[in-house]
Amino acid sequence: ASAETSVRMLKTWDDRYAGSSAICDRYAEMLEEASGGEISVQMFGPETIPPLDQLEPVQNGLFQVLCTYPGFHTGAITLLTGLESIRPEAEAFRDSGARDVIDEAYGALGVQTLSVPLAHGYWIYLNRDLSDQGDLTGLQVRALPPQHPYVASLGGTPVVLPPAEMFSALERGVVEGAYFPAAGATGYGFAEVTKLYFDTKTTSPHIILANQSFWDGLDDATREVFESQAIVLEDETPGVYDRLNAEEAEKMAAAGMELIELSDEAAGRLAAAVVSGSWAFAGSRNPDEAARMREAVENAGLLRE
């Protein structure tokens, strides 16, 4: 039996992104259930703290737990971007030793890493056909800067656009495509503004963090709940996302979206760019940790070819 613990949990997404409920709400639920109500979680979303500013209030204890995507705090740490290049296999990932590197790097920022749920994937949505070369040659594709090498490897021109402008830009043909998570695609409105999509076979790493002094102040039994439920969450996430993505694909088909395949040659170029690009960005703030983590996942055979 653990002491009563109340947690203010901050999450990055509103409910349009599946991870909001499948990862953040789910973890909160599991904590409350597994602790027999000893742990109570109060959830706060991006309307309380904007996505890009969420790490700091957890570091200084305004919130106890943060459920987010590492791309939103690359100003402080870029390490996790490298995980876009691995297969989302929870157990092999835990066994690889990569978590030690992550715990250490995030620990230096004053936060305890609770869980790193890996999910599959990202799609590229297009409002016109692939080029004659069967890739993105001549197309402008919206992507966040860490993913620009992926677009460039297919001959496309990566473009930075704020999310608010992305949909109208696609609709009006200002850009021809966008790199965006698969989960929740129809909810975001891609089916309205594009007609084709293909799977980029990249992984979305999520991360759940706790304020360090909050964590240090917990008793062993309560920590055990956080840790054991993190493992349950990590194990179930890839499967949940496979199901969600399959549902999404059905909705896309129903909305008239066509799923296309890249040629083996183009897919190979993309895969190589994902490996080199994601690790290059991971190393931009954390060169040593990125090298160690890459070695760990590579030895565990997790890197996608």
Partner 1 sequence: MLRSLGLFHDHLSELGLWLGMMALAALATLSFAGTMSRYLLSTPLGWVPDWTGYTLAASIFITAPAVTKHGQHVAMDFIAAAATSRTVVRFLTGIAAAMTFIVLATMTWIVTDSLLAAFRSGTGTAAGYPIPRWWLLSFITYGFGSSAVHFLRTALTAFLGKEKFSDLHISREAN
Partner 2 sequence: MPIAIGFGALALLFIIGVPVFAAFFGFNIIAALGLMGPQGLSIFAASILDTSMTSELVTVPLFILLGELLFRSGCITILFDAVDDIVGRIRGRQYVIVVLISVLLGALSGSAVAVAAMLGKTVMSEAMERGGDKRLLAGLVLGGACLAPIIPPSFLIVLIGMLSGTSISALLAAGVLPGLVAGLLFFAYVQFLLWRDPSRDMTSSPGKLRGPMWKAVISLLPFSIVIFAVLGLILLGIATPNEAAACGVFGALAVAAIYGKLSVRMILNSLKGAILMSAMILLIMAASKVLTQLLAFSGLTRDLVAFLTALDMPTVMVLILLMIIPFVLCMFLDQIALLLILIPIYTPLLDTFGFDPLVFWTLFLLNLTLGAITPPFGYALFALGSASPREVSLRDIYGASWPFIGLILLTLVLVWAVPGLATWLPSQL
Instruction: Kindly list the residues in this chain that would bind partner 1 in the complex (CB under 8 A).
Output: 52, 71-76, 109, 140, 144-146, 148, 157-162, 285
Q: On the CB side of 304, how many CA atoms lie within 13 Å of its CA?
A: 26
Q: Is 301 left (phi over 0), alpha (psi -120 to 50) or beta?
A: left
Residue 28 CA to residue 30 CA, distance in Å, equals 6
- Using DSSP's 3-state secondary structure scheme, residue 71 falls into helix
Report the nearest approach of partner 2 to the CB of residue 187 (Å): 5
| Binding residue (CB under 8 A) for partner 2 from 4, 29, 33, 53 | 53
Taking contact as CB under 8 A, which single stretch among the options 23-31, 183-191, 240-248, 287-295 is the one that binds partner 2? 183-191
Report the nearest approach of partner 1 to the CB of residue 201 (Å): 23
Whether the Cβ atoms of residue 157 and residue 139 lie closer than 8 Å to each other: yes
Each residue of 243-259: b (16+ CB within 10 Å) or e?
ebbeebbeebeeeebee
Q: Which is nearer to partner 2, 70 or 88 (CB)?
A: 70
- Give which of partner 1, partner 2, none residue 93 binds (C-beta under 5 to 8 Å, depending on kind): none
In 5-152 the beta strands, taken as DSSP E runs, fall at 5-11, 39-44, 65-68, 111-115, 118-120, 122-126, 140-142
Q: Which is nearer to partner 2, 173 or 301 (CB)?
A: 173
| Binding residue (CB under 8 A) for partner 2 from 37, 164, 220, 256 | 164
Report the nearest approach of partner 1 to the CB of residue 33 (Å): 33
Q: Which is nearer to partner 1, 156 or 184 (CB)?
A: 156
